[in-house]
Amino acid sequence: MRREKRPVSGGIRALLLPLVLAGCASKPAQQVPLADVPPPLQGTAPEQAVTLLPLGGPLQSENAELSGLAWYGEHLVMLPQYPSWRSDSDPCLYTVSKADVLARLDHTASGPLEPRCIPFDSGGLEKHLPGFEGYEAIGFVGDQAYLTVETRQGTGKGFLVTGRIAPDLSVLKLEASPRASLPLPAQVSNAGFETLVVGGERLLALYEANGVRVNPAPAAESFDRSLTPTGKLSLPAIEYRVTDATSLDSAGRFWVMNYSFPGTSRAYDPAPDPLMARYGTGPTHARKPQVERLIELQVQPTGIVLTERPPLQLQLSNEAPRNWEGVVRLEGRGFLLVTDKFPGTLLGFVPSPP
């Protein structure tokens, strides 16, 4: 655990704040400076607290490096970037039941959630794809599984692959075909297709970097369930990283995880954020350089657009930034989120906005 710093007195804070803001404005790796947000909106946007749900077993380790979340029926499936990360175990995805999650939230059960291993058979995909750098997103349509794969930047593309999950969760096995290429729309260090949106007969793959300075024409790659390309859907410019998404609802709406990690966002060269300028910053976001929020989008015939709902800003931790890499809806309640290895493997719940 990171050691907390001593609190700064109000008078000293007042003297230091202009210097801190000036420093933030001069560094591309920092959040957009508060000077770009109208003063009446600074620190006024609502934030939602995150309730952490302790995980047991192998997911107590940060090395699990979770990269995606999806529902398979009543089972929450957690995707490690590298399912073979444990030297003492066969490759696994992990799952906990919705009933167990709800029991923790309703305080009818206590103790860590104990994940079950779903054996993962990749068919040697890691050796067959040049530059393989792990799995980034997962979704299900019935027993059909869809996963995005990241490769080294020099390859110029990622992949969308398919698999089948056994109804008894005894295995998830990848299929040799179909398989689709995902050309990288920009050359942003360590950025790939981290987001997969599943809805009905449509699959959408979203690139991680969609800011105005790094991606001049952001778009979602669209496929049918057989991975036949069905064109691109224009996407609004979104600063910072887009790291995962919920499934589509009946109106074509979905939420994306939007995140900025201090010290690693330089490659994303964030421009002044129009969402902050319109809706303001939450109290903790006004004091810290990281950004942790959910943004609602909607698929329309002409493309993907922002809805009129404000971003759902997460109340930031006093300890360390949280690199949220997975999100699903928890119907009637809100959202479940997971981090990768920073600051550890965390599963959290955040209620829906009012």
Q: How far apart are CA 85 and CA 99, in angstroms?
A: 28
Predicted pLDDT at 27: 33
Q: What is the pLDDT of residues 34-80, one digit of tens each?
A: 667 788 888 778 899 999 999 999 999 999 999 999 999 999 999 99
pLDDT at 8 over 60: no
Predicted pLDDT at 11: 36
Which distant-in-sequence residues (6+ apart) come within 8 Å of 54 by Cβ? 111, 112, 113, 347
DSSP per-residue codes, 274-341: HHHHHH---TTTTT-S-EEEEEEEEEETTEEEE-SSPPEEEPPPSS----EEEEEEETTTEEEEEE-S
Q: What is the pLDDT of residues 212-245, one digit of tens each?
A: 999 999 999 999 999 999 999 999 999 999 999 9
Q: What is the pLDDT of residues 318-340, one digit of tens each?
A: 999 999 999 999 999 999 999 99
Phi, psi of 304 (to 5 degrees): -100, 135
**Confidence bin at 25 (pLDDT 50/70/90):** very low
pLDDT at 165 over 50: yes
Q: What is the pLDDT of residues 256-269, one digit of tens each?
A: 999 998 776 788 99
pLDDT at 30 over 70: no
Predicted pLDDT at 45: 84
**Confidence bin at 24 (pLDDT 50/70/90):** very low
pLDDT at 105 over 60: yes
Predicted pLDDT at 264: 66
* Percent above pLDDT 70 for the chain: 90
Predicted pLDDT at 34: 65
What domains can be seen in the chain, in order of their start residue?
Answer: 28-54+63-351 (2.115.10)
pLDDT at 110 over 50: yes
Please check whether residue 324 is in contact with residue 240, taking contact to mean a CB–CB distance below 8 angstroms: no
CB crowding 273-287: b at 16 or more within 10 Å, else e:
bbbbeebbbbbbbbe
Q: How far apart are CA 78 and CA 208, in angstroms?
A: 19
Residues in the chain: 354
DSSP per-residue codes, 121-156: E-TTHHHHSTTEEEEEEEEEETTEEEEEEEE-GGG-
Q: Which of 251, 243, 129 is nearest to 196 (CA)?
A: 243
Q: What is the pLDDT of residues 112-145, one digit of tens each?
A: 999 999 999 999 999 999 899 999 999 999 999 9
Predicted pLDDT at 26: 30
Which whole-number Å values give the CA distances from 117 to 57, 94, 139, in the listed order? Answer: 10, 5, 17
pLDDT at 254 over 80: yes
DSSP H or E segment with residue 11: helix 10-25
Q: Which of 310, 190, 199, 222 is nearest to 258 (CA)?
A: 310
Predicted pLDDT at 18: 33
Task: Kindly compute the dihedral angle of the four CA atoms of residues 323, 121, 172, 70, in this order, to the nearest 10 degrees.
Answer: 10
> Which three-class secondary structure state does DSSP give residue 265?
helix
Please check whether residue 93 is in contact with residue 82, taking contact to mean a CB–CB distance below 8 angstroms: no
Query: For the whole prediction, is pTM greater than 0.85?
Result: yes
pLDDT at 5 over 80: no
pLDDT at 164 over 90: yes
The reply to whether omega before 115 is within 30° of 0 (cis) is no
What burial class does residue 250 get, using C-beta atoms within 10 Å of its C-beta: 0-12 exposed, 13-18 middle, 19+ buried?
exposed
Q: How far apart are CA 145 and CA 150, in angstroms?
A: 17
Q: What share of the chain is helix, strand, coil (3-state, %, to 5)?
A: 15, 40, 45
**Confidence bin at 23 (pLDDT 50/70/90):** very low
